[in-house]
């Protein structure tokens, strides 16, 4: 038996084993270095993100929103406590407030804005005097202003601050008429604060003003006060409660009404002045007295 040959073979095997172990250790070191590098890169990205300025974040949010912008007008939440909407070819930014039901966005406002924007031949607001009841966040008033109307947006005192800020931010330098924001409490001293002889409007707009509250009678009185001869009232609302149906019935009795659009429980009505029985009788009596005497 050749022992030298056997010894050489064993040494060769030992060398191969050692070399393999060294290669594995080298690979493990390389993997460890790569993992450490990835961790450092991730930490660097986090630091960069943490030091990113508010302006850069705002720019990224705006870019993301614009990339998602559809052909039709839709609202998107873009961060920083505001919503972005697209109507009349304009970007509209709306801040909501949790202080009041009236200072948050309700679905009928979006439905009415879409209708006004897409059906301009049926309802042409260009150059018209427009009053909005319960303007809330101001989106409807803003859209009407962008469509060329001279708009007065009204609501309660606790809503006026946020309403004014939204309206001014989105209409400054964009509209031919500067919109006005005024206090209006439904059914309260209407003839003294808004005398019919002075305050006449082509259109009265209202969106989601009928919900579970105790002032539906006052609302109807207010609608009657402002919807005079020559005025068109457009009311959009989602029907939620039995009281909403009762109000709708009374609304139809008070005005000449027609249904402009509907989508399930969402309805948009158009209404015009309806003469009271006493007015019709008085009008007929006046005509009789104007006949020439024989």
Q: Which residue is listed with tokens 């209404």?
A: 271
CA distance 4 to 27: 35
Query: Rounded mean pLDDT of the chain?
Result: 79
264 occurs within a structural domain: yes
**Order of strands, edge to edge, in the sheet holding 76-77?**
76-77, 82-87, 90-95
Tokens of residue 228, six digits: 């005079």
- Asked if 102 and 136 touch (Cβ cutoff 8 Å), the reply is yes
Cα atoms in the 13 Å half-sphere on the side-chain side of 270: 13
Per-residue pLDDT of the chain (294 residues; tens, 9 = 90+): 444 444 444 444 443 434 444 455 555 556 566 666 666 666 655 555 544 444 444 444 443 333 333 334 455 555 557 899 999 999 999 999 776 666 789 899 999 999 999 999 999 999 999 999 999 999 999 999 999 999 999 999 999 999 999 999 999 999 999 999 999 999 999 999 999 999 999 999 999 999 878 899 999 999 999 999 999 999 999 999 999 999 999 999 999 999 999 999 999 999 999 987 555 544 443 433 343 433
Tokens of residue 109, six digits: 């406002």
CA distance 193 to 177: 23
284 occurs within a structural domain: no
pLDDT of residue 97: 78
Tokens of residue 176, six digits: 């031919």
Find the CATH number of the domain harbouring 259: 3.40.50.150
Instruction: Give the tens place of pLDDT for each residue, 8-37.
Output: 444 444 434 344 444 555 555 565 666 666
86 occurs within a structural domain: no
How many domains in the chain? 1
pLDDT of residue 294: 37
- Cβ of 247: how many Cβ atoms within 10 Å? 21
- Asked if 93 and 169 touch (Cβ cutoff 8 Å), the reply is yes
Q: Which residue is listed with tokens 């990113």?
A: 52
229 occurs within a structural domain: yes
139 occurs within a structural domain: yes
Q: In 3D, which of 86, 85, 152, 149 has the Cα closest to residue 120?
A: 149
Bridge partners, residue 131, by sequence: 152, 204
> Which domain covers residue 232, as residue numbers?
97-278
pLDDT of residue 24: 52
pLDDT of residue 27: 55
CA distance 149 to 236: 18
Q: Which residue is listed with tokens 């809330």?
A: 136
CA distance 218 to 224: 10
pLDDT of residue 67: 34
User: ∠ CA 210-252-110 to the nearest 5 degrees?
Assistant: 40
66 occurs within a structural domain: no
Which three-class secondary structure state does DSSP give residue 214?
A: coil
pLDDT of residue 212: 79
- DSSP state, residue 27: H
CA distances from 189 to 62, 185, 198, 222 (A): 45, 8, 15, 10
pLDDT of residue 276: 74
Instruction: Give the tens place of pLDDT for each residue, 240-294.
Output: 999 999 999 999 999 999 999 999 999 999 999 998 755 554 444 343 334 343 3
- Asked if 172 and 144 touch (Cβ cutoff 8 Å), the reply is no
215 occurs within a structural domain: yes
């Amino acid at each position: 038996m050749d022992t030298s040959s056997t010894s050489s073979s064993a040494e060769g095997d030992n060398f191969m084993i050692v070399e393999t172990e060294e290669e594995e250790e080298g690979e493990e070191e390389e993997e460890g270095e790569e993992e450490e590098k990835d961790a450092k890169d991730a930490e660097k990205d986090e630091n960069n993100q943490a030091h990113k300025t508010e302006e850069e974040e705002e720019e990224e949010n705006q870019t993301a929103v614009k990339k998602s912008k559809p052909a039709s007008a839709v609202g998107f939440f873009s961060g920083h406590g505001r919503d972005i909407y697209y109507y009349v070819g304009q970007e509209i930014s709306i801040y909501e407030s949790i202080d009041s039901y009236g200072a948050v966005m309700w679905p009928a406002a979006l439905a009415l804005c879409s209708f006004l924007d897409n059906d301009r031949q049926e309802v042409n607001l260009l150059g018209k005097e427009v009053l909005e009841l319960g303007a809330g966040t101001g989106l409807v008033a803003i859209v009407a202003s962008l469509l060329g109307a001279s708009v007065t947006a009204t609501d309660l005192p606790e809503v006026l601050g946020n309403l004014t800020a939204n309206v001014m931010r989105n209409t400054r330098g964009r509209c031919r008429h500067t919109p006005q924001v005024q206090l209006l409490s439904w059914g309260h001293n209407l003839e003294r604060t808004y005398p019919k002889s002075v305050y006449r409007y082509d259109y009265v707009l209202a969106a989601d003003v009928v919900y579970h509250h105790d002032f539906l009678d006052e609302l109807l009185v207010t609608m009657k006060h402002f919807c005079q001869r020559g005025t068109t009232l457009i009311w959009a609302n989602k029907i939620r409660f039995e009281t909403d149906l009762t109000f709708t019935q009374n609304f139809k009795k008070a005005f000449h009404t027609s249904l402009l659009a509907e989508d399930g429980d969402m309805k948009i009505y158009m209404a015009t002045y309806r003469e009271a029985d006493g007015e019709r009788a008085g009008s007929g009596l006046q005509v009789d007295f104007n006949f020439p005497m024989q």
